[in-house]
């Protein structure tokens, strides 16, 4: 039985915690000229502005945002700051990267956890950041094999031995009492954050550096040196696209990035007697190794936030209305919570919401700058953007300022990725993939989960994952 949810949408619970969605800053008033115009005030756009202004204070930089800073995934996510690799090392290699380049990229990504903490401390941003471990729990032998494979892959690609380890089911249950745990992959050196506090704090920091953020200003046209909005035109030799899951709404960008839905439910504060049964004293990031995948955090005010897929994709790359999600999705997430943590099954639900993350055709993030056209972009993080976006900001600043650093040579820089298919093939592909994942999980559960279902492998091939 699904428990009723007190609130659905209105962007996210994280905003509920800080007094609701914020009042908007002023919109663009008439035509303006700047050195760099950034489209989108999520982590990517704001980190880019922060590094540009920190490195070159006399540069004029402006951010244009259709809604308010942090309206997108940056104000709605699961708060996993992992420094993880997004996503396939083999693909970066095949696309012309070197093995050392891919290893260096992994190191740079891991470094973003410390870097974000350094900047938030320096800027006085209070975002409930807590250093912790990530635990990806396996509940069947097939899942255990997959976490072992991940461990092997990570170590083969240069993850230091003190970054990851495998633990058994009993040790996992001592940390978090996941009912059927048979083992887990532990990742050290990650952090839990309150996403909206982070993005709002970052926006304020960027503003203090002298960057205007024109909110309530929608970009309607994009060409060399010129950004057209519903409030005027901005002339800028450099234009940065930082619109991630919303990119399809920009003219000429309809098939570059697919908006994949992810949704979260959050409980009311969990009573101490339930925590005594569950454990979770280290506030670890908790995920599972099913094909459909879920992610959870214990919030600073001691609730459980549990996220997962739900309805994966809306036809025609449509996005949700202020985070409102479907009843079927809420049902699925509560089912996952009950399965993993039966002690939490009867907890009242405070809030449910959803958002879009950005998926490029090859499921690998990229960052780039074309000096000839002045166009720069970053994204396609497929759900790992909380940390990856920080590396985007650092890298875009170096590219735009012409700094010859190690970052501009990493293999995700200036990659060309083919576009998604037109509809209805896009919709059919993504829905087909998730149907196969659900069936693969069900098949593994029925058969005692001894090995990974072949359906999951077919699903991955279907959309080039
Ligand atoms: C539910 C959910 C859970 C997630 N959990 C995690 C997690 O735990 N860990 C993790 O690493 N990642 C997670 N992610 C992904 C992560 O949140 C994103 O990768 C990251 O926030 C992307 O930041 P961004 O700035 O690139 O995009 P966004 O934050 O989406 O920002 C894009 C901005 O562009 C603006 N915009 C769009 N179109 C226009 C236009 N025409 N004109 C002006 N402005 C425009 C939007 O309003 C928006 O504010 C999750 C995502 C979702 C949706």
At 204-224, the pLDDT tens digits run 999 999 999 999 999 999 999
Structural domain contains residue 293:
no
Segment 47-64 mean pLDDT: 98
pLDDT of residue 436: 83
254 and 200 fall within a common domain: yes
249 and 222 fall within a common domain: yes
pLDDT of residue 433: 82
66 and 30 fall within a common domain: yes
CA 235 to ligand 1 centroid distance, Å: 25
Segment 423-447 mean pLDDT: 83
Please provide the average confidence, as pLDDT, over all residues in the chain: 94
Query: Which domain range does residue 77 map to?
Result: 19-87+196-258+362-409
| pLDDT-above-70 percentage for the chain | 99
pLDDT of residue 201: 98
Structural domain contains residue 318:
no
For the stretch 323-346, pLDDT in tens is 999 999 999 999 999 999 999 999
Exposed/middle/buried for residue 376 (C-beta within 10 Å: 0-12, 13-18, 19+): buried
Can you tell me the distance from the alpha carbon of 53 to that of 206, in angstroms, rounded to the nearest whole number? Answer: 8
- Torsions phi, psi for 134 (to 5 deg): -100, 140
Structural domain contains residue 385:
yes
Beta strands in 151-198 (DSSP E): 164-168, 183-192
Global pTM exceeds 0.95: yes
CA 356 to ligand 1 centroid distance, Å: 7
Other Cβ atoms less than 10 A from the Cβ of 346: the count is: 11
Number of domains making up the chain: 2
Label residue 1 by pLDDT band (50, 70, 90): low
Q: Going by CA atoms, what residue is nearest to atom 2 of ligand 1?
A: 77
pLDDT of residue 311: 76
Q: Going by CA atoms, what residue is nearest to atom 41 of ligand 1?
A: 219
**DSSP bridge partners of 190:** 132
pLDDT of residue 449: 62
Q: Which of 414, 460, 418 is nearest to 96 (CA)?
A: 414
For the stretch 366-379, pLDDT in tens is 999 999 999 999 99
CA 208 to ligand 1 centroid distance, Å: 22
Lowest pLDDT segment from 30-34, 87-91, 179-183, 237-241:
87-91
Structural domain contains residue 340:
no
397 and 455 fall within a common domain: no
Structural domain contains residue 245:
yes
76 and 27 fall within a common domain: yes
List all residues whose CB is within 6 A of at least one atom of ligand 1.
Answer: 39-45, 64-67, 71-74, 76-80, 218-219, 242-246, 249-250, 262, 264, 295, 307, 355-357, 379, 381, 383-387, 389
Q: Is 234 helix (H, G, I), strand (E, B) or coil?
A: strand
Structural domain contains residue 238:
yes
Residue 360 has pLDDT above 80, yes or no: yes
Structural domain contains residue 396:
yes
Can you tell me the distance from the alpha carbon of 298 to that of 274, in angstroms, rounded to the nearest whole number? Answer: 13
Which CATH number covers residue 52? 3.50.50.60
For the stretch 370-408, pLDDT in tens is 999 999 999 999 999 999 999 999 999 999 999 999 999
pLDDT of residue 52: 98
């Amino acid at each position: 039985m699904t428990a009723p949810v007190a609130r659905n949408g209105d962007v996210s619970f994280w905003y509920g915690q800080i007094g609701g969605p914020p009042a908007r800053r002023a919109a663009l008033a008439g035509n303006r000229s700047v050195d760099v115009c950034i489209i989108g005030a999520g982590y990517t756009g704001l980190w880019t502005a922060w590094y540009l202004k920190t490195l070159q204070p006399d540069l004029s930089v402006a951010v244009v945002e259709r809604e308010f800073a942090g309206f997108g995934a940056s104000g709605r996510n699961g708060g996993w700051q992992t420094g993880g690799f997004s996503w396939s090392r083999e693909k970066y290699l095949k696309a012309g990267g070197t093995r050392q380049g891919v290893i260096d990229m992994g190191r740079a990504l891991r470094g973003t956890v410390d870097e974000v903490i350094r900047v938030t401390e320096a800027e006085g941003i209070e975002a409930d950041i807590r250093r912790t471990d990530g635990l990806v729990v396996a509940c069947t032998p097939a899942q255990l094999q997959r976490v072992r494979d991940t461990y092997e892959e990570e170590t083969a690609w240069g993850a230091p031995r003190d970054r990851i380890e495998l633990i058994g089911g009993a040790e996992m249950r001592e940390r978090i009492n996941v009912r059927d745990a048979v083992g887990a992959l532990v990742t050290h050196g990650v952090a839990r954050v309150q996403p909206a506090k982070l993005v709002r704090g970052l926006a304020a920091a960027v503003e203090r550096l002298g960057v205007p953020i024109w909110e309530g200003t929608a970009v309607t046209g994009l060409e060399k040196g010129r950004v057209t909005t519903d409030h005027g035109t901005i002339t800028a030799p450099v234009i940065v696209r930082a619109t991630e899951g919303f990119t399809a709404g920009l003219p000429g960008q309809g098939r570059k990035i697919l908006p994949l839905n992810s949704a979260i439910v959050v409980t009311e504060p969990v009573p101490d007697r339930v925590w005594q049964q569950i454990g979770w004293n280290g506030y670890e990031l908790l995920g599972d190794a099913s094909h459909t995948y879920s992610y959870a955090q214990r919030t600073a005010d001691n609730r459980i936030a549990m996220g997962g897929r739900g309805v994966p994709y809306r036809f025609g790359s449509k996005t949700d209305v202020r985070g409102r999600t479907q009843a079927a999705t809420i049902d699925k997430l509560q089912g996952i919570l009950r399965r993993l943590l039966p002690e939490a099954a009867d907890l009242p639900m405070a809030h449910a919401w959803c958002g879009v993350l950005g998926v490029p055709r090859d499921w690998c993030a990229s960052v780039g700058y074309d000096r000839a056209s002045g166009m720069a972009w970053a994204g396609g993080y497929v759900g790992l953007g909380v940390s990856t976006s920080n590396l985007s900001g650092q890298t875009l600043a170096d590219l735009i300022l012409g700094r010859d650093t190690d970052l501009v040579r990493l293999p995700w820089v200036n990659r060309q990725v083919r576009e998604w298919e037109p509809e209805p093939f896009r919709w059919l592909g993504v829905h087909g993939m998730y149907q196969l994942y659900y069936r693969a999980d069900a098949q593994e559960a029925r058969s005692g989960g001894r090995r990974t279902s072949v359906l999951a492998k077919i699903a991955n091939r279907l959309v080039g994952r």
